[in-house]
Amino acid sequence: MNPSASGWIKKLLKEVSGDETFLNNTLEHFYQELKQCGFIYGSNVDVVSNAIPKKDLTDEELCKVNLILAFFYFYKRNPSEEKFIDTVISFYSTITVSKTSIFQLLLIKNKSAALLEDLIEKRVHIDDNVFTKNFNYFITNALLFVDVLAYQKFLDTNTVSDRYLQNIETSIETIVIEVFESKLQKTKYDDSLTKLFKLSRRYHSNGPLDYGEAIHTLQTSLEKRYIIDIACMASWTDNVIDKSENLFLAQFCEHLDLELAVLTQSIVDIDLFYSSNKSKIAALGSKNFVKSFYDNSSKMVMKLISRNSKRLLQELKESKELMVLLTKSTKRDLTPAEHKKVQEQLMDIFKSIPSLAIFMLPGGALLLPLFVKFIPKLLPSAFDENRIDE
């Protein structure tokens, strides 16, 4: 079974059908195994529950396998009249990510295992570019479990709203901000990353959530456990969880109506995973992960703008209002209404340029403030013309 060759999903399902032991795991046990293999942390180092031999699968191939196995586990817990492969395609057809250019052309095809393979390939693809790769590991792929949560909801109700996905993602951003602000000793990169998260929330179409709203959004035990793990990931960025962070995490756990043992287990799990796999995960080798992440994200956005400069210039010149707003953003903070207009118009541009689709994936909104910040600097001619027009 080779996840980089056609026909892999059917072969995978055939392999696991010979031994479906992992499907008998309790929900709590299966989630624990998703952590141990690295899927929850966005750094896949093994196959969940050892459902099939790992052999020489790459990190990207492991991610694809684990995503399908996670979907399959929840499908078996809540079987549908529709076939498994068809349910996953139906799920992706209902959410906004399917409206992006990377999915649009695929979803006009008939449902098939080959179509699902194409969708999964586009969904988890890790760019060969080192900057994109680092970003995907810790943001886009760490948020792949949001897809699994939404798929579970889809199986229950036969639909899932974009608001559900947006609320989960915005809740995660809100809690990560709270974690960073709880640090006793902050570096300038901690402050920069906190500011980046805060700015990114303004570009969500449903607006930012405060701490209380974020707590209220998280309803199921699985959603709560997942966000506790994300919070611990954010705390662990400097390789230590200090007293202040520990206090915040304990209070957060209490506000979620979870036992403190859940937090204790989460801290033990992430410490064990990162210490055991440090040599396998390049970004963890950095002495200052936050600095590395912020710098790499900035470089990645600049590279994406440069590589697509001609197409971006063309698109921007056709949107005078967006040009005016981006020019204003270099001089003052935009109002909430202006942020919303920028977000909507940028999304239209991203839909038309496949290589910019990363901005539309879970976690991609985190990069929007960097895009808005750098585009007037990297494409000055467009904005000089705009000033003359004004």
* pLDDT (0 to 100) of residue 79: 83
CA dihedral in degrees (193, 180, 183, 269; nearest 10)?
-120
Q: Is residue 352 part of a domain?
A: yes
Q: Is residue 144 part of a domain?
A: no
d(CA 281, CA 45): 9
* pLDDT (0 to 100) of residue 299: 78
* pLDDT (0 to 100) of residue 282: 60
Residues 371 and 354 in one domain: yes
Q: Is residue 15 part of a domain?
A: yes
Q: What is the extent of the structural domain holding 263?
A: 162-285
* pLDDT (0 to 100) of residue 225: 96
Q: Is residue 139 part of a domain?
A: no
Domain boundary among the residues 258, 285, 312 is at 285
* pLDDT (0 to 100) of residue 118: 86
Domain boundary among the residues 225, 257, 285 is at 285
Return phi, psi of residue 378, to 5°: -90, -20
Q: Is residue 191 part of a domain?
A: yes
For 9, 11, 19, 117, 344, the CA distances from 15, given in Å and listed in that order, are 10, 6, 7, 17, 44
266-314 confidence digits (pLDDT tens) = 999 988 998 888 777 765 555 555 666 667 677 778 888 888 888 998 8
Residues 278 and 175 in one domain: yes
In contact, 173 and 362? CB cutoff 8 Å: no
Residues 226 and 296 in one domain: no
Q: Is residue 253 part of a domain?
A: yes
Residues 187 and 279 in one domain: yes
Residues 278 and 298 in one domain: no
Residues 322 and 219 in one domain: no
Residues 267 and 337 in one domain: no
Residue with the two structure tokens 């506000």:
255
What is the number of residues in the chain?
390
* pLDDT (0 to 100) of residue 136: 46
Stated pTM of the model: 0.75
Residues 60 and 92 in one domain: yes
Provide the number of structural domains found in the chain: 3
In contact, 263 and 249? CB cutoff 8 Å: yes
Q: Is residue 181 part of a domain?
A: yes
Residues 275 and 341 in one domain: no
* pLDDT (0 to 100) of residue 108: 60
Residues 111 and 209 in one domain: no
Residue with the two structure tokens 């492969």:
85
Q: Is residue 81 part of a domain?
A: yes
* pLDDT (0 to 100) of residue 64: 94
d(CA 298, CA 102): 23
Domain boundary among the residues 79, 106, 125 is at 125
Residue with the two structure tokens 């902050």:
186
Residues 349 and 272 in one domain: no
d(CA 45, CA 41): 10
- List average pLDDT for each run of 10 residues in the chain, which is 390 residues long: 92 89 93 95 91 91 95 93 92 67 58 87 60 49 85 91 82 84 74 67 64 91 94 77 88 95 94 84 57 70 87 87 88 86 87 78 72 82 53
CA angle 239, 243, 244 (to 5 degrees): 100
Residues 72 and 19 in one domain: yes
For 90, 151, 152, 157, the CA distances from 160, given in Å and listed in that order, are 11, 8, 9, 7
d(CA 272, CA 90): 37
For 13, 193, 296, 366, the CA distances from 305, given in Å and listed in that order, are 40, 20, 14, 16
One-letter amino acid for residue 45 of the chain: V
